Amino acid sequence: MVNVMRIAARNLWRYQRRTLLTSLLIALGILAVLLFEGVAGSFKNLMIGQITDSMLGHLQVHRAGYVASIENLPLNLNLEPTQLERLEELLRGMPQVEAWSARIKFGALFSNFSETTNVRLMGVDPQAEARTVPLLRGRVVHGGTEGPLLVPGRLLVPELLARAMKINVGDTVVLVATNQDGSVNGQTFVVGGILASATGPGGRDGYLHIADARTLLRMAEPEVSEVAIRLRSLDDVRAVQAALSAALDGVADPQGQAAFEVHPWEALSPFVTIARMIDLMNVFIQVMLIGIVLISIMNVMMMAVFERVREIGTIAAIGTQPLRILWLFVAEGLLLGLLGAAAGTVISLAALWALNLAKLTFAFGMQDKLVLAPTIAAGDVLFIGALAVATAVLASLQPALRAARMDPIQALHHV
Amino acid sequence: MSLVRAQALSKVYDAAGVPVQAVRAVTFDIEPGAFVAFVGPSGSGKTTLLNLIGVLDRPTGGRLSVVDTDVTALGRREAARFRGEHLGFVFQDFNLIPVLTAAENIEYPLLMVQGRPAAERRERVRRLLEAVGIAELAHKRPDQLSGGQKQRVAVARALVTNPKLVLADEPTANLDSATAHHVMELMRSMKEQFGTTFIFSTHDPRVMDVAEVTFRLTDGSLEQDGPTGSASHG
pLDDT per residue as tens digits for the range A281-324? 989 988 988 888 888 888 888 988 898 899 999 999 999 999 99
**A44 and A105 assigned to the same domain:** no
Neighboring chain B residues of A317 at a CB cutoff of 8 Å: 54, 56, 83, 89, 91
Is A60 domain-assigned? no
Same domain, residue pair A278 and A252: no
- Among A235, A258, A281, the domain boundary falls at A258
A367 and A224 housed in the same domain: no
CB-CB under 8 Å, A316 with B157: no
Residues 6+ apart with CB under 8 A from B55: B66, B71, B74, B79, B82, B83, B87
Instruction: Say if residue A161 is in the same domain as residue A283.
Output: no
Domain co-membership, A244 together with A278: no
The H-or-E segment that residue A263 falls in is strand A260-264
Cα A376 from Cα A247, distance rounded (Å): 36
Does the beta carbon of B113 lie under 8 angstroms from any beta carbon of chain A? yes
Q: Is the same domain home to A199 and A128?
A: yes
Q: What span, in angstroms and rounded, lies between the C-alpha atoms of A169 and A27? A: 55
* Gap from A311 CA to chain B (nearest CA, Å): 6
User: Are A230 and A148 in the same domain?
Assistant: yes
According to DSSP, residue A153 is labeled: T
Strand partners, A154: A190
* Statement: residue A203 has pLDDT above 80: no
**Amino acid at site A258:** A
Of A206, A230, A258, the last residue of a domain is: A258
Range of the domain at A131: 65-258
Look up the pTM and report it.
Answer: 0.74
Q: How confident is the model at residue A254 (pLDDT cuts 50, 70, 90)?
A: low
In a domain, A400, yes or no: yes
A59 domain residue, yes or no: no
Q: What is the mean pLDDT of chain A?
A: 88
A174 and A112 assigned to the same domain:
yes
Q: Is B70 in a helix, a strand, or coil?
A: strand
| A11 CA: distance to closest CA in chain B (Å) | 6
Candidates B155, B166, B101, B97; CA nearest to B131 is: B155
* Burial class for A178, CB neighbours closer than 10 Å (0-12, 13-18, 19+): middle
Residue A57 inside a domain? The answer is no
Q: What pLDDT sits at residue B228?
A: 45
The ipTM estimated for the assembled molecules is 0.89
pLDDT confidence of A252, banded at 50, 70, 90?
A: low
Chain B contact for A324, CB < 8 A?
yes
Instruction: Give the total number of structural domains in chain A.
Output: 2
The last residue of one of the domains, among A208, A223, A258, is: A258
Alpha-carbon separation of residue A207 from A47, A60, A175 (angstroms)? 22, 18, 12
Looking at the domain assignment, is residue A140 inside a domain? yes
Q: Do B112 and A315 touch (CB under 8 A)?
A: yes
DSSP A178-226: E-TTS-EEEEEEEEEEEE---SSTTTT-EEEEHHHHHHHTT-SS--BSE
Give me the torsion for CA of A29, A35, A38, A40, rounded to 10°.
-100
Q: Which of B57, B95, B111 sits opposite A314 (nearest CB)?
A: B95
Residue A20's pLDDT band (boundaries 50, 70, 90)? very high
pLDDT along chain B (234 residues), means of 10: 90 87 91 91 88 92 92 90 93 88 93 90 91 90 91 90 90 80 82 88 81 89 63 42
Q: In this predicted model, what pLDDT tens digit does every residue of A347-360 receive, in sequence order? A: 999 999 998 888 88
CB B50 within 8 A of CB B59: no
- Can you give the pLDDT at residue A139? 84
